[in-house]
Structure 1
Amino acid sequence: MSLRNKITAGVLVLCSGALTAFLGTWEGNGQNVVYADNLARGLPTVCKGITKHTSSVPVVVGDYWSDARCAEVESLVISKGQLALADCLTNQAIGQNTFDALSSHGHNLGVPSTCASRAVGLINAGRIAEGCKALAWAQDGKPVWAYVTLPNGRKQFVQGLHNRRLAEMELCLK
């Protein structure tokens, strides 16, 4: 059974309640006013990490989004991302927690980056525990996916991003 078939059959759930709560922890709950995300070079962001790159609705700094609009667009954005993620996951043994952890990673960094990651390569190879750990750690033991590029081109470690990667790793390993 393909991963998409597992979704269609209800074995894996799109936009699960657990994933939505997890994203709220890291992306914010009740973030109804569009703001310029400093970690993303001022990218207009609203609700649980919705940006112009993920939303079909314009995302303009200062605009107010109702809770209902947030919920509707979040559901569409998260489900669309998860369907794209399912296309790059070939290991049929993936459970909901691993799928949700990878979905959070893709929601934060973009599904193409997640699909191209060492973590997904290991998970697809059947090395799920190693892949889950690769969401937060490089082979040399250094943090991964926890840096932002400064205007001068230098990379800066952000503890909050690493904390999120650690939480994704823990969810993935459950």
Structure 2
Amino acid sequence: MAGSNFGTAAKIAAPLVLGGAAILAGMHRWESQELTVYADQLAGGLPTYCSGRTQPPRPVGERLTQARCDAIDAQTATEYGRAVLACIPADKLDQNSFDAFTLFAINVGKSAACGSRAAQLMRAGNREAACKALARGPDGRPVWSYASGVFVRGLQSRRQYEANWCLTLAEAP
């Protein structure tokens, strides 16, 4: 469409919210909040707790309280949101794209998210392509949806959720 701003970053009317309720809901949608540390089989047995946290390491079987996991999840959302802002300028993001990239980074890691094709496209101001790149490569094939080289449908579903969230422009307050 001529004159459309969809392919470029939306103008930000207010500061981005770090660790807001929407990102926490997204975390809880894709990562069940586990109060007992478990060996995540998709991550090669890596001890995992709360909503996918792996650092600092905790012993498998350790039990955390609900309040402690809620605090860890909030800290995780804020920490990974800051990492996204360190690699993608805030003026390239609206709240939805920021939250989607934060959820992506929580799952794939800060370095991987910031070095991704999706982040490169967002930094270049190509919002639509960046959002789509969270789930699909240039050839249309799924990306970031493999564990130990094996396609995992649940990871692709998560990537598509992140891409769709990112593509939805946040309304100004």
Structure 2 length normalisation: TM-score? 0.86
What CA distance in whole angstroms lies between the structure 1 residues aligned with 2:22 and 2:75?
Answer: 16
**Would you identify which runs of 4 or more consecutive aligned residues in structure 1 move more than 6 Å?**
none
| TM-aligned CA deviation for residue 82 of structure 1 | 1.2
| TM-aligned CA deviation for residue 73 of structure 1 | 1.6
Structure 1 segment 131-146 matched on structure 2, within 5 A: 131-146=130-145
**Does 1:20 find its partner at 2:20?**
no
Conservation of the 8 A alpha-carbon contact between 1:85 and 1:115: yes
Conservation of the 8 A alpha-carbon contact between 2:36 and 2:49: yes
Q: Which residue of 2 aligns with 1:76?
A: 75
* 1:157 maps to amino acid: F
Q: Which residue of 2 aligns with 1:171?
A: 165
What CA distance in whole angstroms lies between the structure 2 residues aligned with 1:60 and 1:69?
Answer: 16
Q: Deviations over 1:117-144 (max 9, x none)?
A: 0001111111101100000000011100
Secondary structure in structure 2 of the residue aligned to 1:59 = coil
| TM-aligned CA deviation for residue 10 of structure 1 | 6.2
Q: Which residue of 2 aligns with 1:94?
A: 93
Conservation of the 8 A alpha-carbon contact between 2:92 and 2:123: no
Q: Which residue of 1 aligns with 2:150?
A: 156
* 1:135 maps to amino acid: L
**Does 1:37 find its partner at 2:36?**
no
Q: Which residue of 2 aligns with 1:152?
A: none
Q: Structure 1 pair 70/91, CA: closer, same or farther in 2 (3 Å)?
A: closer
Conservation of the 8 A alpha-carbon contact between 2:36 and 2:62: yes
Conservation of the 8 A alpha-carbon contact between 1:33 and 1:64: yes
Q: Deviations over 1:1-21 (max 9, x none)?
A: xxxxx8xx9611111101100
Q: Which residue of 1 aligns with 2:49?
A: 46
| RMSD (Å), alpha carbons | 1.6
Secondary structure in structure 2 of the residue aligned to 1:51 = coil
* 2:84 maps to amino acid: L
Any unmatched runs of 5+ in structure 1?
1-5, 150-154
Q: Share of identical aligned residues, percent?
A: 40
Equivalent pairs, count: 157
Conservation of the 8 A alpha-carbon contact between 1:91 and 1:125: no
